[in-house]
């Protein structure tokens, strides 16, 4: 009996041993966390959406610079302000052999809009009145009201008509890869789709491995068990990565915008001069070069990146001018009680997550503000708590980032007086009637030039009011093993270019997946 | 024996109930809204309300708690907010990995600790004994998030014997099991040494020797068996720790077990999964304790009689 008990663990071990091999050559990609669902109609997480273009085709997709480009759509037009007409490519097949038709497009969006499916994406289609199948390859979207940002909602992967909600097993797609196996929290393996309409991908498979622990991720890269890490190598580790032979580091300007947010209902922070003073007091260039090791670009815009068509660079800028900050604070009625002494004009609390880098940056900002006579109490919270506090307005100053913003309509969502949580993300409770009017107008204006002018005015107002302190745009950072050619960085972090990547047999010995 | 067993089973229910009740209320007390996490900030208020209603999060807390208990009593752990699948399935997928790691770590700990403890006790005060003290000190004080990467660098990067992380077969189990087992081994080896030393002077050992038994038999059969009682207690408690507390080790080795699931669930405010994990962990503690008590009976028949 005792012997049997001792053998139990061994049996367990043997039970977990076997794994099927994948033939051919592929790439192993480390990712930071698990994926909840791959069903494009339900997924809203960044990780799922970055992988989606490999499995699914959408009417439109994002290109490298975050611009909308046709994917399944061969052409599209807008016969009037509330109608969008899409002509589909012919000869595109789902992985199960069925052809992609207008019915599938309608079914995909109808599924999202059906409240019974509880899709988190549903809100983006509130303006849709009906979706009509004109013929096998033509589909028409009719909106109730003008909604100029509507095309941004058409990047959802198309699934075959009648696909049930695929939480465990996502519906099939028509993308360059099909799902081979998925162990949530562990790995996701995609295999090449030989019938892909855009041509067979250069790789036979892609394995995404969930590696939550940063040290482990880096060691896997060093050992050669992972070939690609995108935006999950911390700045301090880049030097370490450089020393590993056979590894290339690619860096490209990104659109992830880091900022300080303020509670404008706070008796101190409602003074514009105080917020401006904070903006002048922080030496962002020093933080970028020392703490972020040059892996960011100073942000002199409001939220939108310089890549964006609506970006306005000619706004009030805040260089590092601590003297000016002091003057502004004096003018706002907060004199320094003892000059360069230890006493402060006032103290603020600064909320951030428990992320190591965020904490380090918070401490540096604390130092800068101390120098102009502002006390800062840094408080870090586990993510759920931190985020809960921010949406409830339970903060004075916080630091966060906006990831993947491409649609300038975000300004409405962030700063319109009707967007105060829970109805939007106007977390600082910024109320400005003039801005509200511009924001409303921008939503209804179809003429692109006119819209651009409106957004320009909006950005100027926001910058002058220092509603946010813009910090920087984080670079996209990719660590990739040599031998993989043609990998391109997408500003939104999408893995789209893995379909074009080539690994030549002569480059490095092929890896067979365990 | 039967009444002993039944009485222990009766204690099991309030213990588990207490644990899940505490977790239920603590979870709902901390800030952070699961609906916000699920739908994201961009969702419409009406959709958030609908979902809140669907999940029963709009009901008063005591009603939610009542519903939760009724469901548990029916064996229904609910549906994960994050994975949107039954909690039982989500957890069941992770149990084998955690069990496997815990059991192997347990065996590793025993294989290191008991021989080391015996040798240290028999060679009390010698260099061997001092080295075992050193091992225990280092083992107990070294955090897993540090020991894990050290073992990876040595055995995986330098020597290439084992994979860095993941669950890909027997080889991949070695480093996490050793990482997890060393802390326990350190504790157990000290306990074995101390407990055995206490017995070594006992009269019945002199009797055993007088009967002409070989020394190894005297030690293993008579001294060690009696010294095992406190060790079994600690091992029993520790296997519960191993089952639940492999969180850091699982994280370092990308081991897809309950620990990583629990941490993710707390971050995502996935109440049903957190509650399910806690239920499982508290159950495993209680059951393991029960087994420990039963094993006592084997090691010391007097305990059975008293039961």
At residue B43 the predicted structure's pLDDT band, cuts being 50, 70 and 90, is low
Instruction: Label residue A14 by pLDDT band (50, 70, 90).
Output: very low
Q: Report if residue A241 sits inside a domain.
A: no
Q: Distance (Å, rounded) from C-alpha A461 to C-alpha A467? A: 9
Looking at every residue in chain A, the average pLDDT score rounds to 88
Looking at the structure, do residues A455 and A313 belong to the same domain, yes or no? yes
Residues found in chain B: 307
- Give pLDDT, residue B9: 76
Q: What is the pLDDT of residue B8?
A: 73
| Domain around A107 | 57-154
Greatest CA separation found in chain B? 85
pLDDT at B169 over 80: yes
ipTM of the complex: 0.76
Structure confidence at residue B183 as a pLDDT band (50, 70, 90): confident
According to the model, what pLDDT value does residue B304 have?
Answer: 57
Coil vs helix vs strand at A294: coil
How many angstroms away from the CA of A214 is the closest CA of chain B?
8
Q: Of the residues A112, A131, A154, which one is the last residue of a structural domain?
A: A154
Q: Are B116 and B135 in contact (CB under 8 A)?
A: yes
pLDDT digits (tens, 9 = 90+) for B250-268: 889 988 888 888 888 887 7
Q: Would A452 be classed as within a structural domain?
A: yes
Phi-psi region of A393 (alpha: psi -120 to 50; beta: other; left: phi over 0): left
Q: Is A224 helix (H, G, I), strand (E, B) or coil?
A: coil
What secondary structure does DSSP assign to A147-196, as a single string? -TTGGGGG-SBP--TTPPP-SSSPPP--SSEEEEEEETTTEEEEEE-TT-
Q: Are residues A400 and A284 in the same domain?
A: yes
CA dihedral (A502, A508, A510, A513) in degrees, to 10, reads: -90
In angstroms, the CA B276 to CA B25 distance is 14
Distance from CA of B125 to the nearest CA of A (A): 33
pLDDT at A502: 78
Residue-level pLDDT at B40: 62
Decide: residue B305, CB within 10 A, 0-12 exposed, 13-18 middle, 19+ buried: exposed
Contact criterion met (CB < 8 Å) for A210 and B254: yes
Tell me the domain boundaries of chain B: 94-306
Give dist(CA B252, CA B144) in Å, integer.
8
Residue range A495-512: mean pLDDT, rounded: 70
Among the listed residues B167, B253, B267, the one whose alpha carbon sits nearest the alpha carbon of residue A217: B253
Say if B30 is an interface residue toward chain A (CB within 8 Å).
yes
Which residues have a Cβ under 8 Å from the Cβ of B44 and sit 6 or more positions away? A122, A123, A126
Q: What predicted TM-score, i.e. pTM, was given to this entire model?
A: 0.81
Domain-located, residue A187:
no
> Given CA atoms B286, B289, B295, B300 in this order, what sign does their dihedral have?
negative
Q: pLDDT digits over B104-124, tens only?
A: 998 898 899 888 888 888 888
Q: Which residues pair with A187 in a beta bridge?
A: A183, A209
Percent of all residues in chain B with a pLDDT value above 90, rounded to a whole number = 7
B47 touches chain A (CB under 8 A): yes
Residue A278 lies in a domain: yes
Residue A118's contacts (CB-CB under 8 Å, 6 or more residues apart) are B47, B50, B51, B54
A481 contacts A29 by C-beta, under 8 angstroms: no
- Are the beta carbons of B149 and A215 separated by less than 8 Å? yes
Omega into A422 within 30° of 0, i.e. cis?
A: yes
Instruction: Round to whole Å and give the CA distance between B283 and B280.
Output: 5
Three-state secondary structure readout of chain B = CHHHHHHHHHHHHHHHHHHHHHHHHHHHHCCCCHHHHHHCCCCCHHHHHHHHHHHCCCCCHHHHHHHHHHHHHCCCCCECCCCCCEHHHHHHHHHHHHHHHHHHHHHHHHHHHHHHHHHHHHCCCCHHHHHHHHHHHHHHHCCHHHHHHHHHHHHHHHCCCCCCCCCCCHHHHHHHHHHHHHHHHHHHHHHHHHHHHHHHCCHHHHHHHHCCCCHHHHHHHHHHHHHHHHHHHHHHHHHHHHHHCCHHHHHHCCCCCHHHHHHHHHHCCCHHHHHHHHHHHHHHHHHHHHHHHHHHHHHCHHHHHHC
User: Which contiguous run of DSSP H or E holds residue A511?
Assistant: none
> What is the distance between the alpha carbons of residues A126 and A109, in angstroms, rounded to a whole number?
11
A148 pLDDT above the threshold of 90 = no
Q: What is the Cα–Cα distance from A288 to A141, expressed in whole angstroms?
A: 45
Domain count, chain A: 2
- In terms of Cβ atoms closer than 10 Å to its own Cβ (0-12, 13-18, 19+), residue B106 is buried
Task: State yes or no: pLDDT of A80 exceeds 70.
Answer: yes
With 90 as the cut, is the pLDDT of residue A465 above it? yes
Interface test with B, best of A19, A125, A186 (most B CBs within 10 A): A186
The better pLDDT of the pair A188, A511 is held by A188
Q: Is the pLDDT of residue A137 over 80?
A: yes
- Whole-number Å distance between alpha carbons of B164 and A399: 35
Q: What is the mean pLDDT of residues A77-95?
A: 93
- Per-residue pLDDT, averaged over A160-166, amounts to 86
**CB-based contact, B236 to chain A, within 8 Å:** no
Is A198 part of a structural domain of the chain? no
Say if CB B264 and CB B94 are below 8 A apart.
Answer: no
Q: A144 and A278: one domain?
A: no
Which residue, among A93, A199, A281, has the nearest Cα to A500 in the 3D structure? A199
Query: Is B39's Cβ below 8 Å from some Cβ in A?
Result: yes
Dihedrals φ, ψ of A180, to 5°? -95, -55
User: Averaged over A93-98, what is the pLDDT?
Assistant: 94
The residue-averaged pLDDT of A215-224 equals 92
Nearest CA in chain A to B257: A185
- Residue A152: Cβ within 10 Å count: 15
Residue B106, chain A, CB below 8 Å: the answer is yes
Residues A148 and A275 in one domain: no
Is B168's CB within 8 Å of A514's CB? yes
Q: Chain A residue with minimal CA distance to B37?
A: A384
Q: Which residues of A touch B253 (CB under 8 A)?
A: 216
A143 and A285 share one domain: no
The predicted pLDDT at position A6 comes to 47
What value does the CA radius of gyration of chain A take, rounded to a whole number of Å?
Answer: 25
Q: Which H helix or E strand runs over A359? A: helix A356-371
- Identify whether A487 is part of a domain: no
Q: What CATH number has the domain spanning B94-306?
A: 1.10.3720.10
Q: Which residues of B204-216 are buried (b: 16+ CB within 10 A; e: fewer)?
A: ebeebeeeeeeee
Given a cut of 90, whether residue A307 has pLDDT beyond it is no
Chain A and chain B share a number of CB contacts under 8 A equal to 155
Mean pLDDT, chain B, integer = 82
On whether residue A465 sits in a domain, the answer given is: yes
**CB contact at 8 A, A272 and A249:** no
Query: Which residues are registered as beta bridge partners of A208?
Result: A29, A188
Give mean pLDDT, residues B84-89.
Answer: 86
Average pLDDT over residues A132-146: 94
Contact A9/B264, CB-based, under 8 Å?
no
**Does B238 reach chain A within 8 Å, measured CB to CB?**
no
Look at residue A234 in the predicted model and tell me its pLDDT: 87
Indicate whether B168 pLDDT > 70: yes
CATH code where residue A360 lies: 3.10.105.10
Q: Rounded CA gap, B118 and A445, in Å?
A: 83
A289 lies in some domain:
yes
DSSP string, A129-140: EEEEEEETTEEE
Q: Nearest to residue B78, comparing CAs of B244, B257, B270, B261?
A: B270
Of A9, A120, A388, nearest to B31 by CB-CB distance is A388
């Amino acid at each position: 009996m005792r012997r049997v008990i001792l053998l139990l663990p061994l049996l367990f071990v043997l039970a977990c041993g076997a794994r099927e091999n994948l033939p051919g050559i592929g790439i192993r990609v480390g990712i930071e966390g698990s994926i909840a669902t791959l069903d494009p109609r339900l997924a809203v997480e960044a990780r799922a959406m970055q992988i989606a273009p490999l499995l699914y085709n959408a009417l439109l997709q994002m290109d490298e610079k975050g611009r909308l480009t046709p994917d399944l759509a061969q052409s599209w037009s807008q016969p009037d302000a509330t109608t969008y007409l899409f002509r589909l490519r012919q000869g595109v097949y789902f992985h199960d052999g069925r052809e992609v038709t207008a019915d599938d497009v309608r079914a995909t969006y109808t599924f999202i809009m059906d409240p019974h499916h509880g899709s988190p994406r549903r809100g983006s289609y509130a303006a849709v009145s009906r979706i009509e199948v004109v013929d096998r390859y033509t589909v028409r979207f009719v909106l109730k009201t003008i909604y100029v940002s509507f095309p941004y909602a058409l990047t959802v992967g198309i699934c075959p008509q009648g696909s049930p909600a695929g939480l465990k097993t996502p519906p099939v797609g028509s993308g360059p890869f099909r799902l081979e196996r998925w162990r949530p929290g562990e790995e996701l393996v995609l295999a090449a789709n030989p019938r892909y309409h855009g041509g067979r991908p250069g790789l036979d498979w892609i394995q995404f491995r969930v590696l939550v622990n940063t040290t482990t991720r880096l060691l896997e890269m060093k050992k050669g068990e992972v070939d690609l890490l995108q935006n999950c190598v911390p700045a301090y580790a880049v030097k370490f990565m450089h020393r590993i032979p056979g590894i290339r580091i690619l860096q490209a300007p990104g659109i992830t915008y880091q900022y300080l947010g303020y509670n404008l209902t706070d008796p101190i922070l409602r003074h514009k001069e105080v917020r401006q003073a904070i903006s002048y007091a922080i030496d962002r260039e020093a933080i970028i070069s020392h703490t972020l090791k040059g892996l960011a670009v100073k942000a002199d815009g409001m939220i939108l990146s310089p890549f964006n068509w609506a970006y306005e660079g000619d706004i009030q800028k805040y260089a590092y001018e601590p003297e000016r900050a002091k003057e502004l604070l004096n003018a706002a009625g907060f004199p320094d009680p003892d000059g360069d002494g230890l006493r402060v004009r006032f103290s603020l609390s600064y909320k951030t997550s428990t992320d190591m880098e965020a904490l380090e940056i918070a401490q540096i900002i604390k130092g800068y503000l101390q120098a102009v006579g502002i006390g800062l109490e840094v408080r870090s919270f586990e993510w759920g708590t931190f985020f809960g506090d921010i949406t409830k307005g339970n903060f004075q100053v916080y630091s966060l980032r906006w990831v993947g913003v491409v649609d300038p309509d975000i300004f409405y969502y962030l700063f319109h007086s009707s967007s105060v949580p829970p109805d939007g993300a106007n977390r600082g409770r910024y109320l400005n009637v003039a801005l509200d009017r511009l924001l409303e107008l921008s939503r209804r204006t179809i003429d692109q030039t006119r819209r651009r002018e409106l957004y320009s005015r909006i950005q100027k107002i926001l910058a002058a009011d220092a509603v946010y302190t813009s910090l920087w745009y984080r670079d996209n950072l990719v660590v990739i093993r040599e031998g993989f050619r043609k990998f391109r960085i997408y500003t939104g972090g999408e893995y789209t270019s893995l379909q074009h990547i080539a690994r030549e047999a002569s480059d490095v010995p092929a890896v067979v997946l365990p | 024996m039967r009444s002993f067993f039944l009485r222990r089973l009766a204690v099991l229910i309030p213990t588990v109930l207490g644990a899940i009740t505490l977790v239920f209320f603590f979870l709902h007390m901390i800030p952070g809204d699961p609906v916000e996490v699920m739908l994201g900030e961009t969702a419409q208020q009406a959709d958030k309300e609908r979902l809140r209603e669907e999940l029963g999060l709009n009901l008063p807390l005591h009603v939610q708690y009542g519903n939760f208990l009724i469901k548990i009593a029916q064996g229904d752990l609910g549906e994960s907010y994050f994975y949107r699948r039954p909690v039982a399935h989500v957890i069941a997928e992770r149990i084998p990995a955690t069990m496997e790691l815990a059991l192997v770590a347990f065996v590793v700990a025993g294989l290191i600790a008991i021989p080391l403890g015996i040798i240290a006790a028999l060679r009390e005060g010698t260099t061997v004994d001092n080295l075992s003290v050193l091992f225990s000190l280092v083992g107990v004080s070294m955090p897993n998030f540090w020991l894990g990467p050290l073992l990876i660098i040595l055995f995986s990067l330098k020597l290439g014997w084992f994979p860095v992380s993941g669950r890909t077969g027997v080889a991949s189990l070695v480093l996490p099991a050793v990482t997890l087992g060393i802390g326990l081994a350190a504790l157990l080896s000290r306990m074995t040494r101390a407990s055995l030393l206490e017995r070594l002077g006992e009269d019945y050992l002199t009797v055993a020797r007088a009967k002409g038994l070989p020394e190894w038999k005297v030690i293993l059969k008579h001294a060690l068996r009696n010294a095992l009682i406190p060790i079994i207690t600690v091992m029993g408690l520790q296997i519960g720790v191993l089952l639940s507390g492999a969180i850091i080790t699982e994280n370092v080795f990308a081991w897809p077990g309950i620990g990583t699931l629990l941490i993710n669930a707390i971050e995502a405010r996935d109440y049903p999964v957190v509650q399910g994990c806690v239920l499982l962990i508290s159950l495993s503690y209680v059951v393991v304790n029960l087994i420990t008590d039963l094993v006592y009976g084997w090691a010391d028949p007097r305990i059975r009689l008293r039961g």
